[in-house]
Amino acid sequence: MLRNLFAAEWLKLRRRPLAWGLLAIFLSMLLLAQGLWALVLALHMGAIGGVQLHALAPAQVEQLKLQLSFPGVFGAVLGQVNGTGGILAIILAAGALGSDYSWGTMRTLLARAPARGSYLWAKLLALLLALLVATLLALVLGSILALIVSAWLSLPQRLGGRDLLMLPVGMARALLVILPYLLATLACAAWGRSALAGMGGGLIFLALDVGAGSLSSLGLVNELVLIMINLLLQPNITTLVVLNGELFGLDQALLTSAFDLQFLPSPWQATLVVIAYSCAFAYAAWRILSQRDVSGQQ
């Protein structure tokens, strides 16, 4: 049953213009972000018409060189997956479940396979596979861009076997970061029986979660306050994102002020908390789907 439902969900995703449109937007944003960083570095090095603009500190310049060459480009791409990619994943998840209500496809699927838990699992697995494919394509695009920029600016390449072995770890961690937001979006879409409800609920939750993460500086007040704040989702998400950057030699704190690394939870806590939130949202989505009729009646 699960295999058949998954095949149906994957077929729907592959044929949805929304999925291809979001993929094109994501890859374009990745190309734009890396291209702008390459332009900043080229201006600093005087590689464009001999004009030099020294707007970065030496440590920031070294980080840019790492980010635009191997293996640092892997960390940069995975960071983009958890940035822009996370927002687009919410839109994709909302459309994937919400459209089943508006198109009437849920009634057809559940008539053949009435187990709503299996339906939800199939939906989630298809979404994760789509995100995995998008991540692989982004890594390929980032690698091509890194080869071009490295040849242009004579950047050193330090790609080793260890970096390739750690790449699956980084990809799995990036998908884990997105997982709770996917499940929260599915729960909202099931509750509102529409793609709009899922999209709105997912994006609002993301905004509130990011806002809550800014409270980490309150850990200066009291250690107990820091412990409570670190039980929120966002500080633990930040830990996993930072770890993915460090896995390939990057230090995001040098290029952005968005990371307050001083008060972040440990890697083990971050992993367990993200899994706990994901399980809670998965249970909520399953309960809502199980207790409501497909037509929208209680």
The domain tally of the chain equals 1
Residue 45 is predicted with a pLDDT of 86
If pLDDT is split at 50, 70 and 90, which confidence band does 56 have? confident
Residue 7 predicted with pLDDT over 70: yes
For residue 51, give the 3-state DSSP assignment: strand
| Tokens at 215, concatenated | 């409270």
Instruction: Examine residue 56 and state whether it is found in any structural domain, yes or no.
Output: yes
- Asked if residue 298 belongs to a domain, the reply is no
Residue 297 lies in a domain: no
Position 135 in a domain: yes
Copy the structure tokens of residue 122: 């199939």
**pTM, whole model, 2 decimals?**
0.90
Residue 18 lies in a domain: yes
pLDDT at 213: 67
The tens digit of pLDDT for each residue in 163-194 reads 899 999 999 999 999 999 999 999 999 998 88
Can you give the pLDDT at residue 296? 44
**Mean pLDDT for all residues in the chain:** 87
**Token match 């939130």: residue?**
277
Higher pLDDT, 112 or 284: 284
- Residue range 278-291: mean pLDDT, rounded: 93
Domain that holds residue 167: 2-291
Percentage of residues of the chain with pLDDT beyond 70: 88
The terminus-to-terminus CA distance of the chain in angstroms comes to 26
Whether residue 13 contacts residue 126, with contact meaning beta carbons closer than 8 Å, is answered with: yes
Q: How far is the C-alpha of 269 from the C-alpha of 235, rounded, in Å?
A: 10
62 vs 213 pLDDT, higher one: 62
Pair of tokens at residue 83: 């940035």
